[in-house]
Amino acid sequence: MVALLTDGAGLARALEAPLHSRRVTRLLRQLRLWPHLVLVDFGPPGRLARRLRPFGLAVIPPQALAGWLGGQASGPALQGDLRLWAAACCLGADPLDAASA
């Protein structure tokens, strides 16, 4: 299990820098293949998750790390139609706020 602790600021700068963006993009795509990897977001809520969504990397808040390390889900389990609706909301191009969902 690997948990990378970050606020995402350096990663954002590297992705925007012309000299580094291709190499960082390639690295993030390779990290997607790691089966037990999570990025723990210490920055503003949601910013890192939005930035890494195209790469398919798991991002969790710091308070969810203990549960992730223990093999527990980071939130309550969704069941039935609510689970389907949550999955559909996650597939959109833009993040949804509670009012839009």
Does residue 99 lie in a domain region? no
Does residue 33 lie in a domain region? yes
Does residue 34 lie in a domain region? yes
Does residue 69 lie in a domain region? yes
pLDDT attached to residue 37: 92
pLDDT attached to residue 16: 92
Show Cβ contacts of residue 41 under 8 Å, excluding neighbours closer than 6 positions. Answer: 6, 7, 8, 47, 48, 49, 59, 60, 61, 62
Q: What's the domain range around 44?
A: 2-75
Our count of domains for the chain comes to 1
Per-residue pLDDT reduced to its tens digit, 50-100 = 999 999 999 999 999 998 888 865 555 666 777 777 777 777 777 777 777
Does residue 92 lie in a domain region? no
pLDDT attached to residue 94: 74
Does residue 94 lie in a domain region? no
Does residue 91 lie in a domain region? no
Is residue 35's pLDDT more than 70?
Answer: yes
pLDDT attached to residue 78: 62
In 3-state terms, what secondary structure has residue 20?
Answer: coil
Across residues 33-42, what is the average pLDDT?
91
Residues 97 and 52: their CA atoms lie apart, in Å, by 18
